[in-house]
Amino acid sequence: MRRKRTCSANPSSITNVHAVVLGLDGVGKSALTVRFLTRRFIGEYDGSLEMTYRHHMTLDGQYLALEIMDTAGENTAQKLEKCASFGDVFFILFSITDRFSFLEAKRLGKYIRKVKDNDYTMILVGTKTDLSRYRRVSRNEGFELAKEIGSVFCEISISEGFVETNSLLNDSLRLQLSNKTDQENGDKEKSGPLSRMKEGFKGIYTRRKSCSL
Ligand SMILES: Nc1nc2c(ncn2[C@@H]2O[C@H](COP(=O)(O)OP(=O)(O)O)[C@@H](O)[C@H]2O)c(=O)[nH]1
Ligand SMILES: [Mg+2]
């Protein structure tokens, strides 16, 4: 069931956003989640731990109650169904150093696209750009997959890029909020999720070296 969102014009209102971080184990899901929430990079986590965090924040004067699910373990059909019904914003991660993780990202992205309605945001994130000497997935392949699954694409280093990870979260939330507004205004044709996402990310990421569309 869809959660009710409150009006952004009222500063005392709170908008709920549910985010899910998906990808093969080892790609950096926990590292990214912890960066989003604490700004810190912590090297090692319990790989089997699945956690949902609640975080209150202000974005462009709007109060957000963000719930973020850091998934772990095998992406079974049952688990994916749960994630898809929970989430509005999906971060699909793969490591640029691991081809297998890219194939899993493709499977996950296709699944989300198939089962979700329009008012969601999907971001394909290539991680570990600090290890580019071990790169096994080209940037172009990332772009192509993003096109295929109807997402935007971004490459980051979670360990080195605090500013980038912070912008990634904020920009993704902005996209989701604007997608939602479009849907509520019945403005699907002119400005559907993909075109808005591209628009937003283009403006923000063309200036950044490791994130682009
Ligand atoms: N070099 C590098 N290592 C990373 C990066 N992100 C995560 N890691 C490391 O990759 C490993 C797996 O990260 P983790 O967040 O536990 O992955 P998860 O299984 O997807 O949750 C850990 O050793 C992290 O320190 C990154 O951007 N660069
Ligand atoms: Mg983890």
Is residue 107 very low, low, confident or very high in pLDDT (cuts 50, 70, 90)? Answer: very high
Residue 114's pLDDT is 96
Residue 204 inside a domain? The answer is no
Over the chain, what is the mean pLDDT?
84
Residue 212 inside a domain? The answer is no
Distance CA(30)–CA(49), nearest Å, equals 9
Residue 213 inside a domain? The answer is no
Distance from the alpha carbon of residue 86 to the mean position of ligand 2, in angstroms: 18
Close Cβ partners of 184 (under 8 Å, ≥ 6 residues apart): none
Give the structural domain span for 72: 15-178
Distance CA(76)–CA(98), nearest Å, equals 20
Residue 102 inside a domain? The answer is yes
Distance from the alpha carbon of residue 70 to the mean position of ligand 2, in angstroms: 7
For 27, which DSSP code? S
As for how many domains the chain has, the answer is: 1
Residue 161's pLDDT is 82
Is residue 60 very low, low, confident or very high in pLDDT (cuts 50, 70, 90)? Answer: very high
Q: What is the dihedral of CA 30, 34, 111, 121, to 10 degrees?
A: -170
Residue 8 inside a domain? The answer is no
Residue 85 CA, chain-centre distance (Å), reads 15
Nearest ligand to the C-alpha of residue 44? 1
Residue 50 inside a domain? The answer is yes
Tokens of 151: 């997402």
Closest atom of ligand 1 relative to the 41 alpha carbon: 25
Residue 202 inside a domain? The answer is no
Identify the CATH number of the domain in which residue 70 sits.
3.40.50.300
Mean pLDDT value across residues 143-168: 94
Closest atom of ligand 1 relative to the 45 alpha carbon: 16
Question: pTM here?
Answer: 0.85
Q: Please give the residue that has the higher pLDDT: either 196 or 23.
A: 23
Residue 199 inside a domain? The answer is no
Strand partners, 51: 70
CB count within 10 Å of CB 163 equals 10
